[in-house]
A and B are shown apart, each in its own frame.
Chain A
Amino acid sequence: MRLRLVYATLTGLVLAGIVHVAAILAIPRLAETDAVSRARSSESLDHPQAIYAVATGDAPAPQEVWLPIPDPAVAVGVCAYDLSDGPMRVSARTGSLALSLAAHGRQGAFYAVTDQAAVRGALDLVILTRAQYDQALADDDDNEPSRDVRIVAPEGRGFVVVRVIAGLPSQREAANAAVKAVSCTTDAPADEPNKPAGR
């Protein structure tokens, strides 16, 4: 009887190991409070949803923050995308404040760029699926090369994080405004309805 109990305990421990590994792998998929799920409410906006606005003179930092340990000097905004609606275009104009864009999927960040990579003060990031990327390459005009930075996303859903650093308290208002000034639009597949007729 004691031997069988030992067997049962060992079986239980092996099961515990399997359950542990399965739970760890399942948490990012099942989580409802993760960044991708929470960012989804910003999908309909054409500018980033401010998830952390730095405190300015009168206005304290907002309460509805879901970042666990936010940086008090960095304004953060998110733009969620769903590539089934079309490629996502993020356009930022660089200013005096340091700005960075990072594209996140459920697995983690797959691309990040700062405003030092901007061409003539503009940073254009287009996030697309592999098929949309091939389409964009095929549509490219040889005489008028596109200046977009094209990033192929590993999955259809995710979000782009905009971070603007306010080095001084007097720059905080400008940092909050700089996050709002970035535009996140879904590239309408404008030429696609014409395609079948054209060919």
Chain B
Amino acid sequence: MISELLINAFLVTIMLSIAIALIKTRTVIFTVILTSAYSLVAALMFITLDAVDVAFTEASVGAGISTILFLAAMAYLPQTEEESISSEFIPVLSCIILGGILIWCSFDLPEIGQLTAPIHQHVAPEYIKGSKEDIGIPNIVTSVLASYRGYDTFGETIVVFTAGVAVLALLEKKNTTKKNKSQPKQKIRKNA
């Protein structure tokens, strides 16, 4: 059991190092690769935490499709990130304060894997007991997703459809302004 937790701690530390590398890098291609690696290590962590469905969704959607989207967008964008002129003091300070508060609160959280934790007490046992008779398939995650919470999944498809329509509307070619900083074309944008 302790080995399982050790593997977990190791993987999550790898994720921390990838995130720190993401802060350091200023090259767009490295950013995309590091994001993909981050998702992949997260998928590994989901396997060790018993969430196999989430793991293969994260590996295919988070590490696959997201990376393809980033690479496709990257082809039209500047390849390096400029150094910021403004100070980063206030964002760093607010992040440190918020993180400190969260870590302080984490001492009240139950340890990982406790059977007595509140999350395992209320409705979860009912789903585990009842899903075989109600739905008739062995995978509880599937039966909750597609049957008990079918309306949620329907709403999710609506969200994805709306996002797709919005992307198409945004990328529609209206003006011929392509990397042109001249004044008249910006006036067109203002008046439109």
A binds B: no
